[in-house]
Structure 1
C-alpha cells in the first residue's frame, strides 16, 4: 500500500488544527510547524475544505479550523478526501477486478487488504492521535 504525500500532509495539518481547536491556524504556521512545503500544503488544505474537514475565515483574525470535532474525523475520511480510492491497482478501483485461471483468487486478497486498511484508518480519529504521546515526549 502506498501512502501519498498528500494524505500524509493532510493528516499532519489536521493534527495541528486538532491540537489547538480554539484558535485558527494559517497555512504558513502549519507548514512551518510540520515542515511541509507551503505551496503543496495550500492545495491540500483546499481539498480538505471542499470535503468539509476544515473551515476557513479570511482576514487578520482568519485561518483554518477543523470542520468537525477531532473525535469525528477519521484517517479514512482524510485519505479519501485527498486521494479518492484507498487502494487502486494501476489506477483502477478493485471492485470489478477479475483474473483468469490460477490468479482468480488474487483480487480477493487485494480487496481484503483494502478492507483491513480501511478498518484501521476508519477506527483512528484525529482526537486519538492527538491524545497519544510517544514515550519520552512531553506536552507543549
Structure 2
C-alpha cells in the first residue's frame, strides 16, 4: 500500500487535533507541532472540514477541532477523504494463468481496509494499536 505525503500529513494533523483539543486549535500550532508546511496543511484541513471530520472557527480564538470523538474516527475515515475509494482489480487485467493474482490483490486490499477501519485516532494518541500485543507505538 502506498500512502501519499498528503495522507500522512492529514493523519498527523487529525492526531494532533485529538491530542490538543477539545477546543479550537490554530492551524499554525498543528503545522509547527507536526512539521507540516502551512499552505499544504490549509488545503488538507479544508478537505477534512468539507468531509465533516473536523470543524473550524474563524477569529482570534479560532482554529480546528474534531467533529467526532477520536474513538469514532478511524484511519480509514481520514484516508478515504484524502485518497478516495481504492481501485479494484479486474480479473480481465490478468489473463490466463495469472488471473488469480487479481484475487490476491483484492484479498490484500480487504485486509488493509479492515485493519485501517479498526484503528482509531484515539488508539494513535494513546499509543495503543489493536493487535499490537499491548506494546506502545514507538
Normalising by structure 1, we get a TM-score of 0.86
Deviation at 1:97, TM superposition (A): 4.6
Offset of 1:38 from its aligned partner?
A: 0.8
Higher helix content, 1 or 2: 2
SS in 1 for 2:55: strand
- Structure 1 unaligned blocks of 5 or more: 87-92
What's the offset of the Cα at 1:131? 0.9
1:84 equivalent in structure 2: 84
- 1: CA distance between counterparts of 2:95 and 2:25? 52
Provide the residue aligned with 2:42 in structure 1.
42
The aligned counterpart of 1:64 is: 64
Give the aligned partner of residue 18 of structure 1: 18
Count of residues in correspondence between the two structures: 130
Matched with 1:109 is: 104
Provide, for residues 14-36 of structure 1, a one-character-per-residue CA deviation record: whole Å limited to 9, x for no partner: 01110122221111110111001
Query: CA shift at 1:95, angstroms?
Result: 5.3
Contact 2:22/2:66 (CA < 8 Å) preserved in 1? Answer: no
| Partner SS, residue 55 of structure 1 | strand
Please report the RMSD computed on the Cα atoms of aligned residues, expressed in angstroms.
Answer: 1.7
Which residue is equivalent to 2:31? 31
